[in-house]
Structure 1
Amino acid sequence: MQNAITDPGQSTRERALSDFRGGAAARTAVEPLIDFLTNDLATFEKDNGIDWDTSVPHEKLRAVWKMSAARGFYSYLLPKELGGQGLSVADICAVREAALMTGTVLAPHVLGDLSGPPRIGHLFKHANDDQVEAFLKPIQSAERAVCFALTEAGAGSDAASIKTKAEKREGGYVLNGVKRFISGGSFADFAIVLAVTDPDAKGRGISAFFVDLHSKGASKRTDYEVLSGKGSHADLVFDDVHVPDANLIGEEGTGFRLGMARISVNRLLHCSTMMGYARLALTLSVERADGRQQFGRSIGSFQAIQHILADMATDLYAGRSMMFDAARRLDEGHDIRTEAAMCKLFCAENGFRIADRAMQVHGGVGLLKGGPIEYIFRNLRTFRIVTGTSEIQKNTIAKSLLGGAG
């Protein structure tokens, strides 16, 4: 089992591909991706002085997106008809895990997590031909970046309580409101904005729009920094922004349903991020325990460190097992809303616990800004809050157990 978890003698490529849980198609897809990450991207990061605490200039990010798009990786996780590999959800989770195991800082950007195709893949079913040409294809080609704008100061866990309004006017809508803590918002060109079009219809009165963030009246606030890092989040401010009729996605009143349609898939994909970083934290901790000397021997020979590593490996095995089981059930056509909530809850709570223990194994080195352990610690802490807090996941699970009560 040791080699399936981590082997201190492995190369970066071998480490990334170790204990790969995807099928044959995923294995074929992941190997060139890992080669790109460990060679081209690693060189790009070195040449540009990018570490885990670097605020990467937007022009550098765009260069990475275009490098990725040129190699076909930017749309890798989409269906084949959209230029992707057509992988199952379980295989996508395996590929995402492996990408993070390379330890390359910008690996999520290569797969378009914060800017690109994974954010708009499901919209090809809802967008009309003109919208595909004007918005979706430029995102696929990395000419433009996109963000999803739902969260507001008063509408976090209670997403249906958004206040941003889109009032119907001749030829379009007038958009007013503020979206808060939008990931990818600082460098996005377009936003998928959910806004109230019928205040009397509550959740059924919310519509979705493509909004050009360069429009008159649209602005960004980036005067803060979130725990997970610099430069990627922003508040989006809409002050009498004109949105043409042609930018309405689907029909009026269907925006909230459209936004929530992929919630189970999204939770599993977030779990693959959590488990990918947790696996990297464990790998680095084993390497640290094997190489760090204290009192004339490696710290890995001390039982206290051995027990910490054993707990980390056990939590990791449980989280990954849950995630891949739920993903395969989803691929088989099952409704996994409850299982996805369980996975998000377990992976968020225990992924952070793995990161916390990794920092303990690393000691002072783990506290250093610019290093992977300190970054993973910060990043995994955020997942207990973002994309549905742990408490919200518990509500979903309990509601299922009690037959929808409450």
Structure 2
Amino acid sequence: MNDTAQPDFAALRQRLHAYLQDELLPFEQRHGIGYEDRLPKDTVRALWQRSRELGLYGPQLPRSLGGAGLSVSQLCLLKDDVAASGAVLFPHVLGDWGGPARIGNLVKHATPYQVENYILPCIRGEKGACFAMTEAGSGSDAASIQTRAVRDGDDYVITGRKHYITASAFADFAIVMCVTDPDKGADGISAILVDLDRPGVTLSYDYLPMTGQHVDADIDMQQVRVPAANLIGGEGAGFRIAMDRISVNRLLHCPTMTGLARQAYRMSVEYAQHRQQFGGPISRFQAIQHMLADMATALFACDSMVMAAAALADQGRDVRKEASMCKLFVSERCFEIADRAMQIHGNVGVTKNHPVEFIFRRLRLYRIVTGTSEIQRNTIAKEILRA
């Protein structure tokens, strides 16, 4: 992806590259950090705060909250950069796992009390956050959640179980989608801030995604008392808040995919030029050349598509259709790039926890998370037929 932005953004991007190459990658190498290692919270929090010191943590936030006020297009460039860097811990650098990316657009709905106790500590890297909507029986059907929140005086009492919640392993609190009025359907869903150390809250780590990364957990809540002041945006506003977050969030997953695919592509070019077979590098074989050509072409198409959709988002346009198109196309094409990278690397590429093998697993996951490819096709079709 090309940098077409103003000089201060170019300086920020250069600072990001320097941090990745001069600090984060050497740190990972010194400590032998692998893709599937479980990291202590204090290590993660130190990483958040270092990124914050460098102006990299939550750069999309407005300057009034300590961010850089980046556009969606600029954020896409940075997300591609960190994912392509080869750093194991790259999702923590910009605040994707537990940081400002988790609180989404809550800033415009939050009360002063919520800003002081939840939003600002998250922005400062002092607390981690997660967004808890998915349940075992309501993955794609978000409006069918069963977690209940019942008003009792100055509190809500919450009972329910959230499933496969991303970044919950690093979180101190969750934005929990609850049913406050079961007779109103989606209009009866509310968003409530829940501290994960409250009595009645239990996190369980009974499964691992195919990436082997310790990021997700189930959040079980049994008669959990939460102050009514933790309600975000009023009763019944939760589903709208969630849907407002989802379109741009889907789009912002895409540069992470392209970054990972870019790393796999670069490694494949280098490997093809140096791997010797039958008296010369395998890059001289047309079969290898065609795979590299297809990979480069797919990356160009993905980059172009993501930046076009990001430009629309920056204009304030509703990008529901375009975000779903990007999520569908990019997730499938980038997985194909990883598949070809594995083919080029041969037995090296299928070795457990080799970067290409890990990227293959990670990119396969992206065809499921934040809405499956089938859900994206449904959304695109609805928008087409509504026009």
- The question of a shared fold, defined as TM-score above 0.5 by the shorter chain, is answered with yes
- Aligned to 2:224, what secondary structure does the other structure show? strand
Match of 2:319 among 324, 336, 351: 336
- Aligned to 1:366, what secondary structure does the other structure show? coil
In structure 2, distance between residues paired with 1:282 and 1:194? 39
Match of 2:167 among 184, 187, 199: 184
1:36 corresponds to: 19
Task: Give the CA deviation at 1:308.
Answer: 0.7
In structure 2, distance between residues paired with 1:189 and 1:286? 42
1:369-393 CA-to-partner distances (Å, cap 9, x unmatched) read: 2321111111110111100110011
In structure 1, distance between residues paired with 2:114 and 2:36? 37
2:104/2:245 contact within 8 Å kept: no
1:5 corresponds to: none
In structure 2, distance between residues paired with 1:62 and 1:345? 33
2:48 corresponds to: 65
Task: Give the CA deviation at 1:187.
Answer: 2.2
- Aligned to 2:386, what secondary structure does the other structure show? coil
Which amino acid in the other structure matches residue 23 of structure 1?
A: A
1:392 corresponds to: 375
Which amino acid in the other structure matches residue 276 of structure 1?
A: G
2:155/2:227 contact within 8 Å kept: yes
Task: Give the CA deviation at 1:215.
Answer: 0.2
Is residue 20 of structure 2 the alignment partner of residue 20 of structure 1? Answer: no
Which amino acid in the other structure matches residue 111 of structure 2?
A: N
In structure 1, distance between residues paired with 2:38 and 2:358? 13
Is residue 262 of structure 2 the alignment partner of residue 279 of structure 1? Answer: yes
**Which 5+ residue runs of structure 1 have no aligned equivalent?**
1-18
Task: Give the CA deviation at 1:72.
Answer: 2.4
1:356 corresponds to: 339
In structure 2, distance between residues paired with 1:241 and 1:263? 27
- Aligned to 2:346, what secondary structure does the other structure show? helix
In structure 2, distance between residues paired with 1:43 and 1:63? 16
In structure 1, distance between residues paired with 2:60 and 2:31? 27
Identity %: 52
Is residue 153 of structure 2 the alignment partner of residue 170 of structure 1? Answer: yes
Match of 1:137 among 84, 103, 120: 120
Task: Give the CA deviation at 1:224.
Answer: 1.2
1:376 corresponds to: 359
Task: Give the CA deviation at 1:54.
Answer: 2.7
Task: Give the CA deviation at 1:60.
Answer: 2.0
Match of 1:253 among 236, 241, 248: 236
- Aligned to 1:53, what secondary structure does the other structure show? coil
In structure 1, distance between residues paired with 2:126 and 2:210? 29
Which amino acid in the other structure matches residue 79 of structure 1?
A: P
In structure 2, distance between residues paired with 1:333 and 1:94? 19
Which amino acid in the other structure matches residue 173 of structure 2?
A: F
1:52/1:369 contact within 8 Å kept: no
- Aligned to 1:241, what secondary structure does the other structure show? strand
In structure 2, distance between residues paired with 1:335 and 1:216? 40
1:290/1:298 contact within 8 Å kept: yes
2:139 corresponds to: 156
1:53/1:371 contact within 8 Å kept: no
1:255-301 CA-to-partner distances (Å, cap 9, x unmatched) read: 01011112221111101111111111111110111111111110111
1:22/1:94 contact within 8 Å kept: no
1:237 corresponds to: 220
Task: Give the CA deviation at 1:53.
Answer: 3.4
Is residue 32 of structure 2 the alignment partner of residue 56 of structure 1? Answer: no
- Aligned to 1:115, what secondary structure does the other structure show? coil
- Aligned to 2:344, what secondary structure does the other structure show? helix
Is residue 228 of structure 2 the alignment partner of residue 221 of structure 1? Answer: no
In structure 1, distance between residues paired with 2:121 and 2:335? 36
In structure 1, distance between residues paired with 2:187 and 2:56? 37
**Which 5+ residue runs of structure 2 have no aligned equivalent?**
none
1:78/1:118 contact within 8 Å kept: no
In structure 2, distance between residues paired with 1:44 and 1:235? 30
In structure 2, distance between residues paired with 1:108 and 1:23? 23
- Aligned to 1:279, what secondary structure does the other structure show? helix
2:36/2:214 contact within 8 Å kept: no
Q: Which structure 1 residue ranges, 4+ long, deviate > 3 Å from structure 2?
A: none
**TM-score normalized by the length of structure 2:** 0.97
In structure 2, distance between residues paired with 1:372 and 1:56? 19
**TM-score normalized by the length of structure 1:** 0.92
1:28-59 CA-to-partner distances (Å, cap 9, x unmatched) read: 22110110111111121112111233333333
* Larger mean Cα displacement after TM superposition, 281-290 or 51-60: 51-60
In structure 1, distance between residues paired with 2:54 and 2:386? 48
Task: Give the CA deviation at 1:154.
Answer: 0.7
Which amino acid in the other structure matches residue 124 of structure 1?
A: V
CA RMSD, Structure 1 to Structure 2 (Å)? 1.3
- Gap change, CA 1:105 and 1:220, over 3 Å in 2: same
- Aligned to 1:91, what secondary structure does the other structure show? helix
